[in-house]
């Protein structure tokens, strides 16, 4: 990996997926977080699952995930997302040293990225592939929420998963756990659920995925995927987060919110599902 390139990745989605005005964006994100109501969580939050559509569609659901970490501080935040853009490589990261949103810049954790890369090479025989000026929305969409919810600065570990296989997801999760052990960290898994089914069908498919998530079962997620009984574009990212969290002594997932795009659009004939969850380990 080339970590010498000190440059900023400008946002390709500010002004479309969310506001490019810092004040408006801050107010919007704060409202999504403040309006969320959560159950009492059973332990220390070390991971969240959050959706990644435009804020008008999924921001209210995402607010529940980030309410779970509001006011907390972490040195490092890992964001795992799918890759909606085509690249030949299996696992992608940014070639830039910082991400930019209208709320400011976030430094990439170069040293930890190098450790993760080495772990992937040693354990899976693959490496992280840095890309310049990627247009991936599913990773970036989480960043303004992190900037508003968390207290203090943090470094970012951005990983986009083009490969959605069980082997890569588990291998990545175990490498992440090894690198994060003993550190102050949060893992964010970015995913939407089913896409473009009638709402009743979406509910059936999505609740199977959410049930496997609540059971803390990355294996169950892949069984649903393989059998066609459940869909999530970031399923491998969620599974990797669960495998990492399990290794890091997490033992529970609490579902926080579920909704579909119909709430925003009024169209129940073709919806996208959104879910939020918190991953905890005993205090």
- The dihedral over CA atoms of 92, 223, 51, 160, expressed in degrees to the nearest 10, equals 0
Closest CA relative to residue 228, chosen from 255, 209, 200: 209
Q: How many CA atoms lie within 13 A of 210 on its CB side?
A: 23
Mean pLDDT within 104-126: 97
Q: Is the pLDDT of residue 1 over 60?
A: no
Q: Could you tell me which of 54, 77, 233, 58 has the C-alpha nearest to residue 161?
A: 233
Average pLDDT over residues 88-111: 95
Contact 171, 179 (CB under 8 A): no
Q: What does the block give as tokens for 191? A: 């995913």
103 close to 147: Cβ distance less than 8 angstroms: yes
Q: What is the pLDDT of residue 33?
A: 98
Here the tokens at position 63 are: 């607010």
Q: Model pTM?
A: 0.96
Integer-rounded Cα Rg, in Å, for the chain is: 17
For residue 191, is pLDDT > 70? yes
121-170 confidence digits (pLDDT tens): 999 999 999 999 999 999 999 999 999 999 999 999 999 999 999 999 99
Q: Where are the alpha helices (DSSP H) in the chain?
A: 22-34, 55-67, 110-124, 137-140, 143-149, 166-180, 199-214, 218-227, 235-247, 262-265
Compute the average pLDDT of residues 104-129. Answer: 97
Pick the CATH number of 8-281 from 3.40.50.300, 1.20.120.530, 3.40.190.10, 3.40.830.10: 3.40.830.10
Q: Which residues of 200-210 are buried (b: 16+ CB within 10 A; e: fewer)?
A: eebbebbbbbb
Q: By 3-state DSSP, what share of the chain in percent is helix, strand and coil, each rounded to 5?
A: 40, 25, 35
Quick check: 5 pLDDT over 60? no
pLDDT at 3: 42
Residue 46 has what pLDDT?
98
Q: Cα separation of 227 and 270, whole Å?
A: 22
Residue 87 has pLDDT above 90, yes or no: no
pLDDT in tens, 205-260: 999 999 999 999 999 999 999 999 999 999 999 999 999 999 999 999 999 999 99
Evaluate if residue 86 carries a pLDDT over 90. Answer: no
Helix (H) or strand (E) holding 255, with range, is: strand 252-260
Q: Mean pLDDT throughout 11-36?
A: 97
What are the backbone dihedrals phi and psi of residue 70, each rounded to the nearest 5 degrees, phi first? -60, 130
* Domain parsing of the chain, residue ranges: 8-281
In the chain, the percentage of residues whose pLDDT exceeds 90 is 95
In the chain, % of residues over pLDDT 70: 98
- The average pLDDT across 166-189 equals 98
Q: What is the pLDDT of residues 266-282, one digit of tens each?
A: 999 999 999 999 999 99
CA pair distance 233, 225, nearest whole angstrom? 10
């Amino acid at each position: 990996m080339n970590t010498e390139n000190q440059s900023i990745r400008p946002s390709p989605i500010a002004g479309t997926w969310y506001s490019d005005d810092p004040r408006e964006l801050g107010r919007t994100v704060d409202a999504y977080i403040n309006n969320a109501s959560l159950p009492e969580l059973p332990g220390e939050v070390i991971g969240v699952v959050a959706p990644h559509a435009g804020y008008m569609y999924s921001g209210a659901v995402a607010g529940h995930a980030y309410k779970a970490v509001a006011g907390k501080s972490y040195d490092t935040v890992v964001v795992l997302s799918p890759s909606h853009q085509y690249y030949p490589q299996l696992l992608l990261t940014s070639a830039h040293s910082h991400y930019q949103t209208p709320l400011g810049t976030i430094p990439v954790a170069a040293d930890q990225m190098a450790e993760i890369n080495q772990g992937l090479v040693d354990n899976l025989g693959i490496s992280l592939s840095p890309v310049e000026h990627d247009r991936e929305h599913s990773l970036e969409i989480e960043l303004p929420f992190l900037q508003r919810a968390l207290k203090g600065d943090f470094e970012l570990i951005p990983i986009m998963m083009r490969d959605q296989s069980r082997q890569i997801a588990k291998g990545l999760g175990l490498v992440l756990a090894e690198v994060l052990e003993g550190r102050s960290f949060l893992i964010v898994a970015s995913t939407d659920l089913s896409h473009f089914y009638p709402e009743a069908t979406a509910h059936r498919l999505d609740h199977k995925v959410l049930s496997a998530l609540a059971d803390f079962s990355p294996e169950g997620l892949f069984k649903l995927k393989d059998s066609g009984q459940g869909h999530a574009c970031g399923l491998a990212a969620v599974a990797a987060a669960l495998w990492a969290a399990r290794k890091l002594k997490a033992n529970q997932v609490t579902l926080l919110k579920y909704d579909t795009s119909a709430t925003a659009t009024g169209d129940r004939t073709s919806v996208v599902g959104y879910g939020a969850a918190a991953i905890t380990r005993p205090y």
